[in-house]
Amino acid sequence: MSLHVDLKHRFRDFAVDLDFEVPEGITVLFGRSGSGKSTVIRAIAGLFKPDHARISLDGRVLCDSEAKLFLPPHKRRVGTIFQDARLFPHLTVAQNLDFGRRFSRRDVPEREVAQMVEMLGIGALLERRPDGLSGGEQQRVAIGRALLSGAELILADEPLAALDEGRKAEILPYFERLRDEIAIPVLYVSHSPAEVARLATTVIALEAGRVIGEGAADLVLSDPAVLPVGTAGAGALLRATVHAHHADGLTELSAGGAALFLPHLETPVGHPVRLRIAAQDVMLSLDRPTGLSALNILSGVVSQISPTQGAGVLVVLDTDAGRVLSQVTRRSVAALNLREGVRCHAVIKTVSIARDNIGA
Ligand code: ADP
Ligand code: MG
């Protein structure tokens, strides 16, 4: 199942012009505020009529301006989740779910409802009304309602933005289960690099209504062309597997044959993990440094040097473990005489786990 979007629209002060594909898994639409993310979501959901658009879901046309075809929102089989859950306040959780189910074109068997309730962990909430639930619980019910309505695509427009850190942490795993257990595409809007790192199979980066980067999450997120979007969060996303748990409390990961060490992880040996290494946590050295407390040093070749704002430079290093970014000063680049093709070493201060199990 996949979504194809070809969209051009002009508001008085803003235009979108983009063409992209959303495969199965979670595709994150990433971009700063005002880049056009919600406009894209609203066009797909059918909440406004674009000037020019052709939007199709697995060949089923939702909107084709040439053919003057515009399916109304309730006929699109698209479930939309907004920042606020938008549940019906006078209905219980069970009734809210049932409302979604009535929109489905087929009879959703009880068994399937039960599975959904189990997956979202909302079994204990069924008889309660939305105003008694936390924001995270409300969002889980909203996801359930969207799924039970027979949606063939889930749109989520910054679904965690209104939640505090604790509630975010509570709901992220459910989006991961959506990604890993349900074979329908999810288009998820976010401007948080951490969220992207954790959830995305695919990333589409937007800037001023245009796509400036598109593809596998690890590649797009480490592409300097995309980084103006989230310079503060610039970093690499690496895929690794748990190699060993050592007696001194460290866990050893293997990423493309390179070893990386972290404080103990609960993840069993052999399991995949996603790592995030922030560019500001990586120093560069021409020689392999010794006598350092840093545990993780990766050797690689400089593939790109891009200026960022101020005195900063972003250096892209291709290592066996994948692409690693380092945020250094122009002065360091000059002092080390760094150029494309130069071999050097990334000294990594902190590696954090983006998430166990990448699902793909
Ligand atoms: P994002 O979700 O990335 O923050 P939006 O898609 O909400 O961005 O908005 C992008 C731009 O489009 C903004 O400058 C906004 O003012 C403009 N815009 C969005 N909707 C409308 C509208 N209905 N009429 C006029 N301008 C709009
Ligand atoms: Mg928005």
Q: What is the pLDDT of residues 339-348, one digit of tens each?
A: 999 999 999 9
Q: Which CATH class is domain 235-359?
A: mainly beta
The closest-lying atom of ligand 1 relative to the alpha carbon of residue 42 is 6
Give the Cα separation of 52 and 10 in Å (integer): 9
Q: What is the pLDDT of residues 319-334, one digit of tens each?
A: 999 999 998 988 999 9
Give the Cα separation of 313 and 305 in Å (integer): 7
What is the rounded (10 degree) CA torsion for 267, 269, 270, 274?
40
Ligand 1 centroid – CA 131 distance (Å): 30
Sequential DSSP letters for 345-359: EEEES--EEEEE---
Give the Cα separation of 337 and 341 in Å (integer): 11
Ligand 1 centroid – CA 34 distance (Å): 6
Please give the single-letter amino acid code of residue 152. Answer: E
The closest-lying atom of ligand 1 relative to the alpha carbon of residue 33 is 4
Q: Which helix H or strand E contains 254, and what residues bound it? A: strand 250-255
Give the Cα separation of 237 and 321 in Å (integer): 10
pTM for the whole thing? 0.77
Q: Which helix H or strand E contains 4, and what residues bound it? A: strand 3-10
Q: What is the pLDDT of residues 213-248, one digit of tens each?
A: 898 887 787 777 776 545 556 788 888 999 999 999
pLDDT of residue 227: 61
Q: Residue 67, Cβ neighbours under 10 Å: how many?
A: 9
> What phi and psi, each to the nearest 5 degrees, are found at residue 353?
-85, 125
With the most atoms of ligand 1 within 8 angstroms of its CB, the residue from 30, 39, 82 to mutate is 39
Q: Which CATH class is domain 3-227?
A: alpha beta
Q: Return residue ranges of the chain for CATH 3.40.50.300.
A: 3-227
If you search the block for the tokens 């690499």, which residue do you land on? 236
Residues 6+ apart with CB under 8 A from 2: 21, 22, 23, 24, 57, 58, 185
Q: Return residue ranges of the chain for CATH 2.40.50.100.
A: 235-359
Residues of the chain with pLDDT under 70: 227-233, 309, 354-360
Mean pLDDT of the chain: 88
Q: Residue 304, Cβ neighbours under 10 Å: how many?
A: 16
Give the Cα separation of 200 and 25 in Å (integer): 8
